Amino acid sequence: MKSFIELDDLAGDRLEAVLARARELETRRVTDDLRGRTVALLFMNPSLRTLASMQAGVAQLGGNSFVVTAGQGSWQIETRDGAVMDGDAAEHVREAIPVLASYGDALAVRCFARGRDLAEDLADGTIRTMASLSPVPFINLESAAAHPCQALGDWKTLDDVGVPRRGGRFVLSWVYHPRPLPFAVAASALAMAARRGMDVTVLRPDGYSLPEPVMARAARWAERAGGSVRETADREDAMDGAHVVYAKSWAAPAFYGRPAEEAPVRAGLKGWCVSEAWFRPAAPGARFMHCLPVRRNVKVTDEILDGPRSVVVRQAGNRLHAQKALLVEMLGGVGR
Amino acid sequence: MKSFIELDDLAGDRLEAVLARARELETRRVTDDLRGRTVALLFMNPSLRTLASMQAGVAQLGGNSFVVTAGQGSWQIETRDGAVMDGDAAEHVREAIPVLASYGDALAVRCFARGRDLAEDLADGTIRTMASLSPVPFINLESAAAHPCQALGDWKTLDDVGVPRRGGRFVLSWVYHPRPLPFAVAASALAMAARRGMDVTVLRPDGYSLPEPVMARAARWAERAGGSVRETADREDAMDGAHVVYAKSWAAPAFYGRPAEEAPVRAGLKGWCVSEAWFRPAAPGARFMHCLPVRRNVKVTDEILDGPRSVVVRQAGNRLHAQKALLVEMLGGVGR
Amino acid sequence: MKSFIELDDLAGDRLEAVLARARELETRRVTDDLRGRTVALLFMNPSLRTLASMQAGVAQLGGNSFVVTAGQGSWQIETRDGAVMDGDAAEHVREAIPVLASYGDALAVRCFARGRDLAEDLADGTIRTMASLSPVPFINLESAAAHPCQALGDWKTLDDVGVPRRGGRFVLSWVYHPRPLPFAVAASALAMAARRGMDVTVLRPDGYSLPEPVMARAARWAERAGGSVRETADREDAMDGAHVVYAKSWAAPAFYGRPAEEAPVRAGLKGWCVSEAWFRPAAPGARFMHCLPVRRNVKVTDEILDGPRSVVVRQAGNRLHAQKALLVEMLGGVGR
């Protein structure tokens, strides 16, 4: 596997192998799998968990990493092909990617959605171009349309806390956020749950359906894995028997790239903040998941985050184990 | 010792042991005391010495570290409990702390005073909450009310340059700064000098007495250690026979959180800039100390900083040795 | 060699030795030449290649590094002697340099031109003062007047792609950029090519002659090495038989420090963007060089950068090998 752009890049058996290795690395934290290897980390957008867990993970595997943050101590980086670069960006990905790759044995990049054109962002062309420009193994640390390291850690988290694969009821719920957000985490969580064979419900207000390609891919996975995918605006119905609620906010597709037009609709949806009341129809001990960072008392109440339902810290912790397993899978055997 | 929040957390013998190890690590820079260990570093505020010396120190002990800087390549982080997070901060310490801690074997955090409410800042609740949220050893890299790593390095510096413990005359002098600053360094330096058994004088303009709890704690240490603590606005009196002047600026307690009201008072105090003239009544060879960064020719003249009295670079150098000793004390024996 | 401020600091044989070691380290990436050594990296200005390649290089040599970026998670740093520091800068290089040096075994610093006074910037006093304040080996990562690590990597690049030393025709061409830039890269590239014994032509619009001291130094190198240095505004003439075009933008010396006055002149020079048409009179297979970052379709067209002439990624890659060789030269034998 030369590039890890989305969870699909880990075909059936390899996904299970990576999950198995993640479990192993959780108990045996320090190894020398990456001894002498350098991992380049490029962040075009803010990060806490990814920034920290990639550095910690590479070091714990005996390797080295370095971080370049576009626009923060480094140049602003242009991603558009053919741009006449007479604005703020001094550097183009067509140079930055091969250069950074040349200093390392792998390159991992975060580059969020541009947020202007829905089809463009869903096609995830920027991260795919970056991967194609890298002569070394490439890892997506969240792109316009996918956050596969998160999905990997989330899969492990569901396993850890005993949420069933087949028959497990997974609710991906839209929640309020002051601004329209991209689809990357929602799309990856949805595909992950569907591939896991769960019965998946997307709970969202009217007008906030996930884009058709996102739903269609999840449906294909559900069919293959023996689960199901549906969507609804009815919370009671969605939560009925749910084992887990995965909260995430996203943009209204019809207003994509025009946040001012979406604002009045969005303003009426502040009630979409997960609270204990949501869990009344859920399965006993149902869990709350979120990729973090989370806006407390906006997307979810303190009560949930500080209570026994929340596995958000475990999800974040699993980022470390999952990414280390992925790095070993991608780099462990090369050139040793 | 699970948390190092203030110098008091190193009880009598352990403080001496850490100082002894700091001296040893000054001559034997590279060890493997932290081999395989990861130290997470979270900065909510700017840093030069702490940022550099923690990274250098962990590496020289054979370990690894990573840095997360809130709002600089990472999210802005909310510290207030119960906040409705609809503003700039996307992340809350109640997630950030356990998550970062989960990637490492220790967590060290800088989080300055909020500067709104004096009692709140002196209680140092934010750093104490952070420490309580960390399942791994926790180090305060300067909080609202304490800078214990600085105090540790300062203690060693005083030893290095032969300033006596009992009978040593230590002047903590307020100096001018364009803005009101927190009490952390002043409080830690004062407690350190008092615990060292010195005769301590706080020299400050009228209206700039240190808060009562800060003075009271120093008085308790002085009593235990056989020294004394007093305050005065009379420079000649304060400097009489002084072995060392430790310069620091701080806010006027009466105006705490209302800088505009303090401004006219402060503007009249630009003469509080340490110069050679200050040292006329001092002991021969009296030293100048400051925690850095220092505003030249505002808090102290070039002449002092570039002359033989200044030990500010040595103080900063001792941050490395002291923190390495602390890390070995806190982490060296765990899980090896 | 205690300081590496400009390429001249590597006298004849030592330059060849460093280049030879750079070639060796290109094929043998991981060594333990810097085991147990700490390299402090201070950036006063943005960086991508230097920031990344220094960290990667030190790690690949078995050492450790840390990064401090002025004004980005660290304090803004004053460089002027005698400054009354009542503005934004909280820290002065007179403290920052010895402090950071005290944490490491070497210190490397980037500090661009101030851009106010031409003679002052060409004298490169700030980086020289910094070097004098460092008790440990000091490396210039681009100063007001020199970028010697770039020159070292460029020399290797010319060797790599077979551009002849004696008889090689090197064109240093001014190109358009929205703002006036410093002379550091141009001066270092010019001196490098002249020292390499090449026939060097500076191609620039009227009013954009390089400053006399820059030309004079190159002329001295040319005389010693058996090459030549000339300047012209005639592109056809300059490009005649050229083996390589090195593009760089710089300020008009007559307007130095007064960008608003230069702006109308500069605005008329947007045609100075390297394109395939430039190469008509050049030698077959002539190369395009640039230090990066480069503004695409402003300084040079996509066609050139994405085509076979461009060696810009190789230049950047050679930064890694050259700097590693330099580090081994400066640090490899000390204290081991």
Model confidence pLDDT, tens digit, residues C125-146: 999 999 999 999 999 999 999 9
CB-based contact, A335 to chain C, within 8 Å: no
Give all chains having 3 or more CB-to-CB distances under 8 Å with chain C.
A, B
Mutate to test the interface with B, among C85, C93, C107, C334 (most CBs of B within 10 A): C85
Residues of B in contact with C38 (CB under 8 A): 56, 59-60
- Find which of C92, C99, C134 to mutate to test the B interface (most B CBs within 10 Å of its CB): C99
Residue from C35, C27, C34, C42 nearest C326 by CA: C34
CA atoms of B12 and B301, how far apart (whole Å): 37
> Closest by alpha carbon to A320, among A107, A48, A131, A130?
A48
Contacts of B334 in chain A (CB under 8 A): none
Mean pLDDT value of segment A262-279: 97
- CA dist C73 and C67 (Å) reads 11
Domains of chain C: 3-147+317-331 (3.40.50.1370), 162-310 (3.40.50.1370)
Kindly state whether A228 is in contact with chain C, defined as any CB-CB distance less than 8 angstroms. no
Which residue of B43, B53, B178 is in closest CB contact with C73?
B43
Hey, what amino acid is at B295? R
**Residue for token digits 């009630």?**
A271
pLDDT beneath 50, residues of chain B: 334-336
Q: Does residue C297 belong to the interface with chain A, where contact is any CB pair within 8 Å?
A: yes
CB B106 within 8 A of CB B126: no
Cβ pair A85:C320 closer than 8 A: no
Q: Is A56's CB within 8 Å of B98's CB?
A: no
Q: How far is B297 from chain A (nearest CA, A)?
A: 29
A222 three-state secondary structure: helix
pLDDT digits (tens, 9 = 90+) for A98-118: 999 999 999 999 999 999 999
pLDDT above 50 for A310: yes
Residues in C touching B55 (Cβ below 8 Å): 64, 66
The backbone torsions φ and ψ at residue B170, rounded to the nearest 5 degrees and listed phi first, read: -115, 120
Measured in residues, chain B has a length of: 336
Q: Do A52 and B99 touch (CB under 8 A)?
A: yes
Residue C334: the pLDDT is 46
If contacts are CB pairs under 8 Å, which of residues 58-77 in chain C contact chain B? 64, 66, 68, 72-75
Contact B91 A320 (CB under 8 A): no
Q: Is A91 in a helix, a strand, or coil?
A: strand
Determine which helix (DSSP H) or strand (DSSP E) holds C18, and give its type and residue range: helix C12-27
C261 part of contact set with chain B, CB < 8 Å: no
pLDDT tens digits, residue range A130-166?
999 999 999 999 999 999 999 999 999 999 999 999 9
Amino acid A1: pLDDT: 79
Q: Per residue, what are the HEC states of C216-285?
A: HHHHHHHHHHCCEEEEECCHHHHHCCCCEEEEECCCCHHHCCCHHHHHHHHHCCCCCCECHHHHCCCCCC
Residue C162 near chain B (CB below 8 Å)? no
Is B73 close to A43, i.e. CB distance below 8 A? Answer: yes
Peptide bond into B293 cis (omega under 30): yes
A-C contacts at Cβ under 8 angstroms: 95
How far off is chain A from C46, nearest CA to CA, in Å? 5
Interface check C249 vs A, CB under 8 A: no
Identify all chain A residues contacting B73, using CB atoms and an 8 Å cutoff: 43, 46-47, 51, 67, 69, 72
Question: Residue B74 and residue A46: Cβ atoms within 8 Å?
Answer: yes
> B86: which chain A residues are within 8 Å (Cβ-Cβ)?
178, 295, 298
pLDDT, one tens digit per residue, over A226-243 is 999 999 999 999 999 999
**Could you tell me which residues come within 8 angstroms of residue C160 by beta carbon, excluding any fewer than 6 positions away?**
C311, C314, C318
B132 reaches A (C-beta below 8 A): no
Taking an 8 Å cut-off on Cβ atoms, the answer to whether A293 and B104 are in contact is no
pTM above 0.90, yes or no: yes
B49 touches chain C (CB under 8 A): yes
Residue partners of C62: CB distance under 8 A and separation at least 6: C30, C31, C32, C33, C34, C35, C36
Cβ <8 Å between A91 and C293? yes
Cβ–Cβ < 8 Å for B93, B101: no
Q: Which residues in C lie closer than 8 A to residue A88 (C-beta atoms)?
A: none
Write out chain B residues lying below 8 Å of C100, CB-based.
48, 52
* CA distance, residue A74 to nearest chain C CA (Å): 5
pLDDT on residue C333: 62
C75: nearest CB among B43, B48, B296: B48
The per-residue pLDDT for A333 is 61
Nearest-by-Cβ selection for A95 from C30, C67, C313: C313
Structure tokens at A227: 């689960």
Helix H or strand E encompassing A67: strand A64-69
C275 touches chain A (CB under 8 A): no
What is the least distance, in Å, from the CA of B99 to any CA of chain A? 6
Which 80-119 residues of chain C touch chain A by CB within 8 A?
A: none
> Could you tell me if B181 lies within 8 Å of chain C, comparing CB atoms?
no
